[in-house]
Amino acid sequence: MQATGIIVEYNPLHLGHLHHIKQTRKTTEADCIIAVMSGPFLQRGEPAIIDKWERTKTALEASVDLVVELPHLFAVQHGDYFSKGAVETLANLHVSSICFGSEQGTIEPFLTAHKTWEDKRDSFDSILTSFLEKGNSYPESSRLAYEAIGISEIDLSRPNNILGYSYVKAINRYAPSITPETITRVESDYHDETIEGTIASATSIRKNLHKYGEITKKASETLPTFTSKALQAYRDEKQVWHSLEIYFPLIQHLLWTSSPEELRMIQGVDEGLEHRLLKAIDVSSSFHDLMHTVKTKRYTWTRLQRLFIHLLTNIKKTDSRLLEKPVSYVRVLGMNDRGREYLSQHKKDFEVPVVTQLKQLEDPLFTLDLKAQKAYLYPLSGENRVDSYRREKMPPVFY
């Protein structure tokens, strides 16, 4: 069996994602589609609106064959580390290709751009440093540096092109036997905040859900029926859809009880930011207030959100060393019959543990996954919290 990989968050899974899955199967002619999915917290520094188990169920209902978890440490990072973790996880499962959605829609410009970057890498690094020293954010500095070395084949101001380019770089560096593929992204821009039509961004869908506290007609038109049911069932049972705002009391507590020295140990707290955080928390009555008080041109919204996730999950700078090491296991979240058959056929060939039970693995990277899952459950009631963590110790979802 041949497998292709996709890199997803499904926060939540919408009609644009269905298109991606369908076109991936058509483009790659794969026997098995494997999704590596972020767990409790996501790349832009946000909690998933519903837990990874419910999102896994929606992936399987959307015809993904096997869902595995992207280790938490890689899931909440900038594009290069996020891509490294995702690509290495899929490489551990011996996928032959990785297919991603992009505004560009064809793979050749990504390959040409990567060749340019490789030829001018030393120049790129020095140019990037110079833009950072001028006070630009990392994303803006990267975009300007790519322009400066002559990358013009793809528009690296578009969010999915940026992430897709990171995937191509990671494939070339960590898993060159994998073939990168891309399809045209049909949904709205990743950052769009309002729902327009039936193909909407996950950002706009979440914003609508949180604003109204229910699945509105407008939101339901952008979602498969099974996603709407999963969202409603989670809210009915857990009494919550997760957002950073509901973690604010815990963030406030952690900042109020931490010294500057302790905060400096947290990943992302650099350049004296600990003092800015401690001043800001004293005058902030909500997470929204806190973000607006701390944000500057250099400290982007996404960078700060990631920092607060690191604070919530107690990810320290010393943990960052694990980002440089290969992903050393694969955690299975769910599968259908095809996914089960694929694992059965290939299990003797895998070089790392492919685990379905917590007791099967002792790994420092996996320990961080468990810490993140516990932090994610903070907003739930006591009984729901215990029940939800108990689910962590149970077998994967079978569909």
State yes or no: 146 annotated in a binding site: no
Q: How many CB atoms lie within 10 A of CB 210?
A: 14
Sign of CA dihedral 384, 388, 394, 399: positive
Contacts of 148 by beta carbon, 8 Å cutoff, 6+ apart: 123, 124, 127
State yes or no: 15 annotated in a binding site: yes
State yes or no: 160 annotated in a binding site: yes
State yes or no: 174 annotated in a binding site: no
State yes or no: 329 annotated in a binding site: no
State yes or no: 9 annotated in a binding site: yes
State yes or no: 16 annotated in a binding site: yes
State yes or no: 114 annotated in a binding site: no
- Determine the distance from the C-alpha atom of residue 183 to the mean position of all C-alpha atoms in its chain, rounded to a whole number: 19
Q: How many CB atoms lie within 10 A of CB 379?
A: 19
State yes or no: 18 annotated in a binding site: yes
Q: Is 10 left (phi over 0), alpha (psi -120 to 50) or beta?
A: left
State yes or no: 6 annotated in a binding site: no
State yes or no: 11 annotated in a binding site: yes
State yes or no: 307 annotated in a binding site: no
- CA dist 317 and 274 (Å) reads 14
DSSP 378: T
3-8 and 32-38 beta bridge pairing: parallel
Strand stretches in the chain, DSSP E: 3-8, 32-38, 66-70, 97-102, 179-184, 330-335, 354-355, 397-398
State yes or no: 12 annotated in a binding site: yes
- Which residues does the annotation place in the binding site? 7-20, 101, 160, 185
- Which residues does the annotation place in the binding site for ATP? 7-20, 101, 160, 185
